[in-house]
Copies of this chain bind each other. A is one copy, B any other.
Amino acid sequence: GTTFLLSCPEDLETVLDRFVQELQYAKVIGFDCEWTSKSGKPQPVALLQLATVSGVCLLIRLSHYRGPLPVRLQSILSDASYIKVGVGPMEDANKLLHDYGIVVSGCVDLRSLAVRTKETKNSLGLKGLAQSYLGVTMNKQKHIQCSAWDAPSLSQEQIDYAANDALIAAKVFSVIARSKLESNVHVASALNNAVNNTLWSIVSSYCQGLVDCKFKQ
């Protein structure tokens, strides 16, 4: 996977093609936000984290970003057919709307999905879900969690921490989805049909130039 730290429209435009391409088949976005509190008062969202299941992560520094987000990205964020997965994503979505007027629809709370699978032994925070579904122990250090997300430049620790939250959310979703798929008796035949349809379009192309033509040695 690749993580992009983005503070200006030009940089975001440059990587957006790649991000959109990765979403082509799995319309799932690991979604998280970071902000700082000053004297107990939450400041505007400083960092918006968006990750694909395939491991591409955008870290958009809203505290430094000037102007509106690219229309293409706004469309994806407001389009509920792109699922935004995380722990408490609605709260982040509401704060983005309040702080910046950014509309995020299609939020799915991983805890709700996890409760449906009834397999969770660990707690339902992202750390617990990562342990349950990925076997990964997240290093949720308070001093990073509560660090200055609007600082002039972010430390590597902050970058890794922030990217990880969105990336892990996407991966937890994909593992839950996969485990459900494997227990779904209709999936095997649906997959088989999809494969056959594709094979057929390829196979029939082999006959180009031969249909209704007599064989000539």
Q: Which positions in A face B, CB cutoff 8 Å?
A: 25-28, 80-81, 83, 88, 90, 105-109, 111-113, 115-116, 124, 176-177, 180-181, 184, 186-187, 190-191, 193-200, 202-204, 206-207, 210-217
Contacts and interface: CB of A to CB of B under 8 A. Distances in A.
A6 to B, nearest CB: 26
B203 A198 contact: no
Contacts of A210: 108-109, 112-113
Contacts of A113: 206-207, 210
A173 B190 CA distance: 24
Given A113-B207, A194-B194, A210-B109, A199 B181 contact: yes
A106 B35 CA distance: 64
Contact of A107 (B90, B108, B109, B211): B211
B108 A207 contact: yes
Contacts of A81: 204
Given A206-B177, A206-B180, A25 B211 contact: no
A170 to B, nearest CB: 12
Given A111-B217, A194-B194, 8 more contacts: A25-B200, A26-B200, A109-B210, A176-B206, A181-B203, A186-B202, A190-B202, A194-B197
A50 B26 CA distance: 41
B109 A213 contact: yes
Nearest to A85: B207
Contacts of A206: 113, 116, 176-177, 180
8 smallest CB-CB distances across A and B, nearest first, come from A25-B196, A194-B198, A109-B215, A194-B194, A177-B203, A111-B215, A112-B210, A108-B207
A109 B124 CA distance: 62
A212 B115 contact: no
B180 A191 contact: no
